[in-house]
Amino acid sequence: MNFLQHIFTIFTFFLLGERILVDGLGCNWGLQATHPLPPDIVVKLMKDNGFNKVKLFEADPGAMRALGRSGIQVMVGIPNDMLAGLASNVRAAEEWVQQNVSNYLSRRDVDIRYVAVGNEPFLKTYDDRFTRTTLPALQNIQAALIKAGLGRNVKATVPLNADVYESDTGVPSGGNFRPDIHDLMISIIKFLANNGAPLTINIYPFLSLYLDSHFPVEFAFFDGHAAPIVDGSFTYTNVFDANYDTLISALEKNGFPSIPIIIGEVGWPTDSNTNANTQLARRFNQGLLSRINQGLGTPKRPTPPDIYFFSLIDEDAKSIDPGNFERHWGVFNFDGTIKYPLDLGHGRNLTAAKGVRYLSRQWCVMAPDANLMDPNLAQSVSLACTYADCTSLGFGSSCGGLDARANASYAFNMYYQTMNQRSGSCEQFHNLSVITKIDPGFHGGSCRYEIMIDTGRHQQARNPGTSAAGKMCSNCVVSWVVMLALVVYGYLII
């Protein structure tokens, strides 16, 4: 082999290696944050870390503009509360496609590949709220895409939770669709197949562990330490494969053995539950990444699907109805800093966000001379945690081991930062708090006393009693927990 041939071989190997690294690797980009990263920084963060596909839950203008000419393929979402209007009005679907697909394709060169019609609309907790509108909305959006001349390149799909199928035998071969939505699922899958669109499914091994205290922990991970489950000629060593192949069995039984599948969401949270921590998240996501880079599928489908990690960054304003961990699914912290190391393959590691600007380096903490027995303390902590994210203070969380004074300081600071360090926002706690320029955090520990991102706008933060309460009211549960902990602590020290 001469020198030029040698260089060509190395160059070809490099290209193929890069292709293996990024093919099928996507992420979810959620926008429910009080201080979101600027969209251009997020797009650069994705590109720096090899994510070439992104799923958005809505057509946010800032995110869509930043994705223009980025080389990142986009799945743009439609929220569930829009399904009824789109289902009943073809014109509304056409207008949505024009504004949120055609417009960005033609004017911004956004590489839109899919429209996600709704998000897990058949969850049992929705009590059939969206069962009658999802399919008509899907049909109208696809018709609107075709009318706009986009039907060949842009496909409509419906991201569904894995609870739309089940196994009556406890093994994947017994898979079938839930009886209450069986006929509806077949209609949706038939429509997707007829239009060359994929079926999108969200799979969460963490939730298997969270919802079942008897679930075998090792079966949630990919490193082969679990006792295997044998199903005929197939052997399963992790719940992801077993769950996915339960879906494949359901599809095969109903006449759709070959429809393409996208994993719309899969990941592991890092806080606010005993099983939600950086160690387990790293173990799960590293195992998943290694499978993707090796091109590994499941026993019934050896070819891997496109996979969208959930999620890219944390969202501190996300609903905590499913659990406090909902705000901590990110591979990165809210500001794009790295939570834990991941080997992306071919010698590449995670890269943090660049160009992030922060508010002033100062914190709001409990005053040194403030009394833990002050009758206003519990009420003050409750106020702080009603309007800011205190989920990291719960049992089993990263800040769950703080004493009462540090606990209150954390709550006060989260409120102060959420309010953009606004003048007077640290003085609302009955003389119990004070501003400091000394980091109150535990260096080297997992508990972070945050300083929020300077969004560049410094918009006036909402006061208690405004619509901010609606956005952050899900913190009320957390605030009561924190308040109770302080009261109990008070009794203990009497």
Catalytic residues: 120, 265
The CB-based long-range contact list for 398-405 (8 Å cut-off, 24+ gap) reads 398/270, 398/271, 398/277, 398/446, 398/447, 398/448, 399/446, 399/447, 401/447, 402/447, 403/489, 404/372, 404/485, 404/486, 404/489, 404/490, 405/366, 405/372
For tokens 């998000």, what's the residue? Answer: 119
The CA dihedral of 405, 411, 417, 420, to the nearest 10 degrees, is: -120
**Residues 413 and 286 sit within 8 Å (Cβ to Cβ):** no
Other Cβ atoms closer than 10 A to 146: 15
**Residues 160 and 221 sit within 8 Å (Cβ to Cβ):** no
Determine if the peptide bond prior to 311 is cis (ω within 30°).
yes
Other Cβ atoms closer than 10 A to 98: 13
Give, in order, the Cα–Cα distances in Å from 125 to each of 130, 135, 168, 177, 249. 11, 19, 21, 17, 25
For tokens 């260096």, what's the residue? Answer: 443
Return the H-helix or E-strand segment holding 54: strand 53-56
Within 179-278, strands assigned E span 199-202, 229-231, 234-236, 261-266
- Measured in residues, the chain has a length of 494
436 CA to centre of own chain: 33
Return the H-helix or E-strand segment holding 307: strand 306-309
How far apart CA 95 and CA 100 sit, in angstroms, is: 8
How far apart CA 45 and CA 491 sit, in angstroms, is: 48
267 CA to centre of own chain: 8
**Burial environment of residue 203 by CB neighbours within 10 A (0 to 12, 13 to 18, 19 or more):** buried
List Cβ neighbours of 67 (8 Å cut-off, separation of 6 or more): 39, 43, 54, 74, 104, 108, 110, 111
How far apart CA 161 and CA 248 sit, in angstroms, is: 15
| Token pair for 249 | 């069995």
